[in-house]
Amino acid sequence: MKHFLLPLINSSGELLRALASKQGDLYAATATHVVSGIGDGSDLVFIANTGYSVLKLLSHPDITRPGDLKGRRVGTGEAGSNQDRITRQALRRLGLNPDKEVTLVPMGGRSISRLNALLAGKIDATTSNEDNLFDLERRGEMSRVRVLADNESLKLFIGAGVDFAVSRERLLHDRESIKAFLRALCEAIALAKKDRARADRIYSRHLGVRDPGLLDFMYRTYVQGTIPQRPFPRVEPIALGLEEFGAKPGLRGKKIQELIDATLLKEIEKESLFEQLYGTLK
């Protein structure tokens, strides 16, 4: 079986350059970036997804509805960043024009920095992940913010979730290697869901998380909650990419299903791997 090299890419800019120069056959990244690369000529297709980030739109407690954000300051990432994209999409779904009805305040990529700015009164609203809210709740300070919206209410599945895309040429000529990769991905997910201690060790080793309460929260929220047993490609993040980059030459006239190939996971499903891993599926 052929092997995959897995270089680490540290920014969306590096990823886009890697896509443009066709450095890889297989990419693990946020779908919107990959869709943008397809628009620029990369011949890729989505084959799997392992969930999405848990997103909350937070504001000062005196802001009780989305319309109250008009004229207010909303913390976001640098222009063109994934965080900026998330913030803009969230505001649009709430019926607000991010360029005319609010003042976007770029504050870098870390959501904890934006949350601290919200608590300090430097901004009036921002998005945050669930981890920050867990820490805020543990300190007894949830009354200092209001949750205006979340993933489900916004229908906004974008962010830190991982989408897997492969070049069509590699998929055509090396299906067994891609299939073996997907089988390993499915087995790794099952192992994490069944072996809490091993999952905790991975969080500790790679993210430096050692607090028992936070480890418990992350395991429940992400391993048990967000990550699916069967990692089929998700339509929603790809649709967002088409919505934003559909005018690019490589995407004109393309339908969402043309960018997805779930045949290998369907084969794995028919081979009863999920029953072997989980017994009765939830």
Q: What is the DSSP string of 91-105?
A: HHHTT--TTTTSEEE
What does the DSSP 8-state code read for residue 66? G
Per-residue pLDDT tens digits for 232-264? 999 988 988 898 899 999 999 999 999 999 999
User: Is the separation of the CB atoms in 219 and 200 below 8 Å?
Assistant: yes
Domain boundaries, the chain: 27-52+159-278, 55-154
Element (H, E) at 163: strand 163-167
**Angstrom distances, CA of residue 156 to CA of 90, 164, 276:** 7, 19, 33
User: Is the separation of the CB atoms in 237 and 30 below 8 Å?
Assistant: yes
The predicted pLDDT at position 5 comes to 47
The predicted pLDDT at position 13 comes to 60
CATH code that applies to domain 27-52+159-278: 3.40.190.10
The predicted pLDDT at position 143 comes to 92
The predicted pLDDT at position 20 comes to 61
Distance, in Å, from the CA atom of 277 to the CA atom of 76, rounded to the nearest integer, reads 41
Structure tokens at 260: 């997805």
Distance, in Å, from the CA atom of 172 to the CA atom of 139, rounded to the nearest integer, reads 53
For the chain, list residues with pLDDT below 70.
1-23, 108-109, 157-161, 280-282
User: Is the separation of the CB atoms in 134 and 211 below 8 Å?
Assistant: no
In the chain, count H helices and then E strands.
13, 8
- Of 83, 248, 76, the closest CA to residue 160 belongs to 83
Pick the CATH number of 55-154 from 3.10.129.10, 3.90.79.10, 3.40.190.10, 3.30.590.10: 3.40.190.10
Distance, in Å, from the CA atom of 123 to the CA atom of 114, rounded to the nearest integer, reads 8
CA 47 to chain centre: 15
Q: Which residue has the tokens 């790679």?
A: 206
User: Is the separation of the CB atoms in 34 and 103 below 8 Å?
Assistant: no
Structure tokens at 12: 């969306």
The predicted pLDDT at position 1 comes to 44
State pTM to two decimals.
0.81
**Angstrom distances, CA of residue 51 to CA of 1, 71, 73, 164, 202:** 28, 34, 30, 11, 18
